[in-house]
């Protein structure tokens, strides 16, 4: 029996919530990358996108936003996601690359400066 079975341990992340100063720009950005909109939208105060079996929430904020960290999304094709970002008019930090820790990845910031990483293990 694992620790999770006996003590109610953490199993996964259900959702991540990011603040935005422009819901319309955020919705456009995430939809252009293929995120599935499940509720809310450009005029909403709170929007949810499905990310596999988890969720990405966007909440409207009037407060000044600052750097807080990075969300890493596993994707089936890192280079394909990079092309999709470029075709949508977004500017990734750099082309996809292979990392010493065994991932292929690239970084992209959303319209509010939240850092996103799109990655895939090199060996699976």
Give the tens place of pLDDT for each residue, 75-112. Answer: 999 999 999 999 999 999 999 999 988 999 999 999 99
Determine the length of the chain.
124
Whole-structure pTM over 0.75, yes or no?
A: yes
Is the predicted pLDDT of residue 15 greater than 80, yes or no?
yes
Q: How many helices (H) and strands (E) does the chain have?
A: 3, 8
Question: What SS3 class is residue 106?
Answer: strand
Distance CA 120, CA 108 (A): 15
Residue 2 pLDDT greater than 80, yes or no: no
Under DSSP, is residue 27 helix (H, G, I), strand (E, B) or coil?
helix
| CATH class of the domain whose range is 14-121 | alpha beta
Stated as kind and residue range, the H or E segment containing 56 is strand 54-60
The mean-pLDDT minimum among 31-40, 56-65, 75-84 falls in 56-65
Q: Is 14 helix (H, G, I), strand (E, B) or coil?
A: coil
Write down the pLDDT at residue 7: 62
What confidence tier does 69 reach under pLDDT thresholds 50, 70, 90? Answer: confident
Q: Is the pLDDT of residue 1 over 50?
A: no
């Amino acid at each position: 029996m694992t620790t999770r079975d006996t003590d109610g341990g953490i199993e996964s992340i259900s959702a991540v919530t990011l603040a935005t100063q422009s819901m319309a720009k955020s919705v456009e950005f995430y939809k252009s990358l293929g995120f599935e909109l499940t509720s809310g939208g450009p005029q909403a105060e709170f929007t949810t996108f499905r990310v596999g079996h988890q969720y990405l929430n966007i909440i409207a904020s009037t407060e000044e936003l600052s750097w807080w960290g990075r969300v890493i999304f596993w994707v089936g094709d890192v280079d394909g996601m990079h092309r999709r970002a470029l075709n949508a008019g977004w500017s990734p930090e750099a082309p996809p690359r292979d990392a010493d820790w065994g991932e292929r990845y690239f970084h992209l910031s959303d319209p509010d400066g939240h850092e996103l990483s799109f990655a895939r293990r090199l060996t699976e």
